[in-house]
Structure 1
Amino acid sequence: MMAARTAAPPCVTVAWESSVSSHARRTLSVFGPALLALALAAGCKATPPTDVPGRAGPSPTAPWAMTPSPALTARATEDLRDPPEIVSRGGLLRTRIVVERKKVFLAGRVLWALTYNGLYMPPTLRLRPGDRMEIEFDNRLEQRTNLHVHGLHVSPGGAADNVFLDVQPGKTFTYSYTFPKDLAPGTYWYHPHPHGLSTAQTAGGMSGLIVVDGLDRFLPASLRGVTEHVVALKDFQLLGDQIKTLGLKMSAPTTRTVDGQLNPRIHIRPGETQLWRIANIGANIFYKVALPGTRLHVVAQDGFPVNKVYAADSLVVPAGARYDVLVQGPRAGTSELVTLPFSSGRAGSKAGNQFPRATLATVESGGTPVRAAALPTRFAPVTDLGTEPVAGRKTITFTENRAGTAFFINGRQFDHHRVDFRSRLGTVEEWTIRNDSDEIHSFHVHTNNFQVMRINGERQTNHGLQDTVDVPPRGTMVIRIRFLDYTGTTVLHCHIMNHEDSGMMSVLRIDK
């Protein structure tokens, strides 16, 4: 099924071969030439940097092992640019992704990055429930890779969401997905998932968003068609003129971007309601997102609409998680969208990491004020697995060694040849996820989403299904999960990719 690449790659690839929306065409027409000029000026024929994942033989004193440069900061001088979109037409989204190491213009610098079609922030793939998606995936890296559509309910086998499949260097593979008609509307994302390389490739820049349309139907008529923004949280550690991909430490200085921009301006009128799709599409770090003085009204989490809209002053967003929120413009003036200080370790322990406060974007509220709309309270119907009979129970225990360099599930490290858990199609199971360590681990399972029942014994409000949830240090989380539609072999793991790549992943087999 895989064909060898027969032509040398062009110096720059900025066009996506697909049904491109008018917004995408405008974006590419404006920024494509600039990206091309910058890449040419930067010298596409230059010797690649030493920090290349999969490249053999750097010594411990090579640049990839060094401490990264300080995090970059900037004044808000440019407006937020939502990524261009690739939109399904007639029930089909067809596109091409070229994976390669390129120089990109990022945070005011020209940097080496791992890119999809030459872009650090690639287009958003936009589709509807029941659609099909075909992606011609061309690997021009010097190492294997693959593609995972995070959170989507789709087959884990064959040419679909198959993380056991590797696309080798110089090869092209066509992914083909058929989504169910009841696919939940919301925000998802895509990224690489080759075991041992997921961290390096995602941290290097390989991630983008997927939007499943249909959330509008749960909004009151007055809020349908409101201004919508992607708030894709992507972070990188800087090493000279390259994004660091090897030897990553979560506590190291890290530059945080929104849609690949450093502190962009988000415009809103006082009282105006906007929909923001907040998604952590990085490899490892946590965000505690807040817009001080303005509450975030959650309408969907991890791609699933909620049953009741709830408001939060801040949202903890681990790597992989998403929240769709309604935001109403504050009084005229300037405020900052920030990530607040956050610790992933147990109080009193030396485990985990401390994440500092950082500015993500500058929100400028101005123009003619509008009357703030009444926000909905009741929203969408949700699945309640709490009333379902339980066919089986499992315990999944996260542990790590004292040095924090090796990670385990039920005392074992990942082996793709071994099936760790078996479940049966059409049943509901109750799982207890134990975290026997002093730092947070983020639980994620492919193919089917789950309902959180209890955390540390405390019953949780059922706002809807999720796919990436933090398990507190020395704590437990009880979930229920239903196995629908698809049999096959899939995985569950900690979504802190440093931990996943270091062993904290297991194989789940779903049988008829």
Structure 2
Amino acid sequence: MAAQRAMLLLIAVVVGTVAAQTQSPYPILNISKGQPLPVLPQIQPNASGWLSLNMQPATIMGPGDNTSAEDPYIVYTGRTYNQELIAGVIRVMQGETLRLEVCNNLSASMQTTDGEKTTYGTHTQPMTTGGISVFKDINILANHLHGFYGNPGTDNVPCDPLPEGGPCYKGDNIFADIEPGQCNYYQYDFPSVASPGALWLHPHHHGSSSVQTHTATVPVLLEVNPNGGLDPLSSDSCVTANMKQFFPADHNNEIILHIQSFMFAVYDDASQNIQNATGPIDDGYITNVVGALPGDALCCAGPEPLDDGSGGTTWEGVGDTGPDAGDSFSALPFYTSGVNADFVTVNGAYQPVINMDAGKVYRWVIIEAAIMKWVHLGFDKPGCVMGIVSRDANYLNQIPRLADNLVIAAANRVEVLIQCDAGSYQLQSGIGKTFTQDPGCGSSHCDVYQQVVATVEVAAVAGAAPVPADPFGSCTPALPAYLYDLRDPYLNATQKNEIIPATGNNGLMNFTNPQVPGPPSSACALNGMTYQDKNAMQEIIGELHELSLWNINVHPYHHHTQPFQIVDLPDGVDSDLNNGSWRIGDWADTLELPNIGFQAIVRWIPGPIEITGTGYAVLHCHILPHEDEGCMMKTQILEHAYMPDPTPTGAHSQGGKAGLAIMVLILATALIGVPVVMYKKKKARKAAEAEAAEQSLVRNEYGASAGRTQSTAFPSAV
């Protein structure tokens, strides 16, 4: 079926005037414009029960016709899953297991645009020099299930059953490389207590995550299991409010909006020379990263702007990327429109049409799968009412929260209820007097400015009443134990100093401040340091952790394995002035707060071990070019005891061989020295265990008196 679809697309393009000038050995994917919103197909398992994602090249064209500067037009060969802009949607229930096969069908070596043969696909052959935190290894793949609450998959627990054909990881092991011609397998065990909502899959190899994620993302929807799963709408409050009417089992009111961004700046020879001297910059990221990786054969081909019949090209000198002249391959993406240098697609379409009926309440599931920019969504006129239900698959404390616009950072997921009067509306981003979330921001970290993200056509329905100011009602949902409220000042006063880890990399995540201790770095850094295999931030299961996050007005902070709660915004705004997008008390796994403050204080309690296990993960800036440049830190989940800090399994591209040697040395030293140390510290350990037990009793007492509609202790079973 996929091959037939690709062939039909190829035939459709070949007969067009644009494709007549463009030759590509790969399937061609047309970005449509102004057509009905594509419905994403559900990805089905193969005969062995595994869902398959195959990274393969595909040439992306459109959405304009290359004869006008009013619409963007690109010709770009990207690395895609299953040779689609979006391979489909994955659905899984609480308490179930997602078995995923991820294969890398890219080439290990390719002939470059200058005729040389270069190895792109092994960790021993980076695309450029400069250490582990550079743009490199662009044909090496790694996998991440963003938003997964569970095991990081680095503790070598075997999958059950074991697949045939490649290594399998029981959890979200982002360190396991998938080199060209290889497949990795992943077993994701979803606990029955996991909060339902939207997650997403994307590449996560350090050095190539951004260039791959640009065109390879898949939404994953975790749904309530009626046979024993935690249902947030089962609380007495939500039952009384009849909130479940807006969440039908057949999803007949569900609309998935999977947003991707394309960032191609138009460069001339002079600007390219500046970039070559200074290194990649953020604006027009994909153009820059390809410029930093010369000769990438999976990049670009394209004609000059087509003749409109006037005797010359439609716009002289605009959109010429320098070396990309005529029908040729070049070192830079071909981008002809200088008017819309950045644009977004929804479900793989440009400015699609969303069709709805008046009077009906819909549930929009929005996945912001961009590599950098946030979107600031709102309507061009009154007539629609929105209410936020959850962010990052975490229900709000009170649902829904009415909002007239939505700030959604790269990697965020938002579920909203929406009802509209009959009419035609524009869904816009960053446009108009009400969309001034960060008016002074001149960086590519800022929001997408796009007059029309989508058109919403709401058909009149006989008897449909006008939308009231609050059409949904409200209720307090039932939340799982790992989302219990950590804002209580009693916890802050009695436990803050004792249980926040005191190692050098804990307590402050400062993305760009050069005054913090550590080696100097001109790139985005955490506490002044770029990524390294050592010095992991330790997360102790069952203990309260707190981080003070700085500079998150333009840098989205992401924490793997489980979410965190916003407990304070010291210099921020916690009111309707922020239009309800974020509030103190909300839970998230990715946080960016444009224009409402530079700092946030967040808390979480790792565990329980039955769900998260132990092992290694990361935290990082989710501007993925910054992650590739080193704005990332390793974390280590521990069970009340110090463990050696070896390199995570599969982390070869991040210095894994050196880490393995260090691990062997550490273990050898431990075998000699641990018996003596353990004897001397026996009494101290017993005292620490007694203190931990006492603190556990304090936490349980707090939870029992919190008065929230949720479990007050971690479940003992998944």
TM-score range, shorter chain: 0.7 to 0.9
State whether structure 2 residue 146 is matched by structure 1 residue 153.
no
What's the offset of the Cα at 1:367?
3.4
Q: Superposed, which structure 2 residues align to 1:28-43 within 5 Å?
A: 34-35=8-9, 37-38=11-12
Q: 1:333 aligns with which of 410, 423, 435?
A: 423
Determine the structure 2 residue equivalent to 1:230: 256
The 8 Å contact of residues 296 and 311 in structure 1, kept in 2 or not, is answered as yes
Q: Superposed, which structure 2 residues align to 1:368-379 within 5 Å?
A: 368-369=461-462, 370-371=464-465, 374-379=471-476
What's the offset of the Cα at 1:399?
1.1
C-alpha offsets along residues 161-197 of structure 1, whole Å, 9 cap, x if unaligned? Answer: 1111111111111112111111110111110011111
User: Could you tell me how far apart the structure 1 residues matched to 2:182 and 2:91 are?
Assistant: 26
Choose 1 or 2 for highest CA Rg.
Answer: 2
The 8 Å contact of residues 186 and 300 in structure 1, kept in 2 or not, is answered as yes
The 8 Å contact of residues 88 and 131 in structure 1, kept in 2 or not, is answered as no
Q: Superposed, which structure 2 residues align to 1:421-460 within 5 Å?
A: 421-435=537-551, 440-457=554-571
Q: 2:591 aligns with which of 452, 469, 476?
A: 469
The 8 Å contact of residues 38 and 105 in structure 1, kept in 2 or not, is answered as no
State whether structure 2 residue 2 is matched by structure 1 residue 14.
yes
Q: 1:384 aligns with which of 482, 485, 493?
A: 485
The 8 Å contact of residues 265 and 361 in structure 1, kept in 2 or not, is answered as yes
> Which structure carries more strand by proportion?
1
User: Could you tell me how far apart the structure 2 residues matched to 1:493 and 1:244 are?
Assistant: 18
Determine the structure 2 residue equivalent to 1:311: 402
Closer, same or farther in 2 for the Cα pair 1:464/1:471, shift >3 Å? closer
User: Could you tell me how far apart the structure 1 residues matched to 2:255 and 2:25 are?
Assistant: 38
Q: Which blocks of at least 5 consecutive residues in structure 1 are unaligned?
A: 1-12, 16-28, 50-71
Q: 1:139 aligns with which of 104, 115, 133?
A: 104
C-alpha offsets along residues 99-158 of structure 1, whole Å, 9 cap, x if unaligned? Answer: 011135653677523211111011111101111111121101241111100011021124
User: For 1:295, what is the secondary structure of its paired residue?
Assistant: strand
User: Could you tell me how far apart the structure 1 residues matched to 2:443 and 2:52 are?
Assistant: 45
Determine the structure 2 residue equivalent to 1:298: 388
The total of aligned residue pairs comes to 453
Q: Superposed, which structure 2 residues align to 1:186-225 within 5 Å?
A: 186-203=197-214, 205-214=215-224, 217=233, 220-225=243-248
Determine the structure 2 residue equivalent to 1:20: none
The 8 Å contact of residues 419 and 509 in structure 1, kept in 2 or not, is answered as no
The 8 Å contact of residues 295 and 311 in structure 1, kept in 2 or not, is answered as yes
Determine the structure 2 residue equivalent to 1:21: none
Amino acid at match of 1:233: I
Determine the structure 2 residue equivalent to 1:285: 373
C-alpha offsets along residues 244-281 of structure 1, whole Å, 9 cap, x if unaligned? Answer: 835159x9811211111111111111221111011110
Determine the structure 2 residue equivalent to 1:54: none
The 8 Å contact of residues 345 and 352 in structure 1, kept in 2 or not, is answered as no
User: For 1:103, what is the secondary structure of its paired residue?
Assistant: strand
C-alpha offsets along residues 487-510 of structure 1, whole Å, 9 cap, x if unaligned? Answer: 111111111112211121111111
Determine the structure 1 residue equivalent to 2:508: 395
The 8 Å contact of residues 572 and 598 in structure 2, kept in 1 or not, is answered as no
Identical positions, percent: 24
Q: Which blocks of at least 5 consecutive residues in structure 2 are unaligned?
A: 66-74, 108-138, 155-168, 225-230, 235-241, 267-283, 291-338, 502-506, 575-582, 640-718
Determine the structure 2 residue equivalent to 1:10: none
Determine the structure 1 residue equivalent to 2:530: 413
The 8 Å contact of residues 94 and 223 in structure 2, kept in 1 or not, is answered as yes
Determine the structure 2 residue equivalent to 1:270: 358
TM-score by length of 2: 0.57
User: Could you tell me how far apart the structure 2 residues matched to 1:233 and 1:141 are?
Assistant: 25
User: Could you tell me how far apart the structure 2 residues matched to 1:353 and 1:499 are?
Assistant: 14
State whether structure 2 residue 41 is matched by structure 1 residue 84.
yes
Amino acid at match of 1:228: E
User: Could you tell me how far apart the structure 1 residues matched to 2:96 and 2:588 are?
Assistant: 22
User: For 1:386, what is the secondary structure of its paired residue?
Assistant: coil
Q: 2:174 aligns with which of 155, 163, 166?
A: 163
User: Could you tell me how far apart the structure 2 residues matched to 1:105 and 1:253 are?
Assistant: 15
TM-score by length of 1: 0.79
Determine the structure 1 residue equivalent to 2:342: 254
The 8 Å contact of residues 88 and 128 in structure 1, kept in 2 or not, is answered as no
The 8 Å contact of residues 421 and 509 in structure 1, kept in 2 or not, is answered as yes
The 8 Å contact of residues 31 and 62 in structure 2, kept in 1 or not, is answered as no
Closer, same or farther in 2 for the Cα pair 1:346/1:175, shift >3 Å? same
> Which structure carries more helix by proportion?
2
The 8 Å contact of residues 343 and 355 in structure 1, kept in 2 or not, is answered as no
Closer, same or farther in 2 for the Cα pair 1:100/1:94, shift >3 Å? same
User: For 2:512, what is the secondary structure of its paired residue?
Assistant: strand
Closer, same or farther in 2 for the Cα pair 1:38/1:134, shift >3 Å? farther
C-alpha offsets along residues 453-484 of structure 1, whole Å, 9 cap, x if unaligned? Answer: 11234585455421111155872110001101
The 8 Å contact of residues 378 and 404 in structure 2, kept in 1 or not, is answered as yes
Q: CA RMSD in A?
A: 3.6
Determine the structure 2 residue equivalent to 1:179: 190
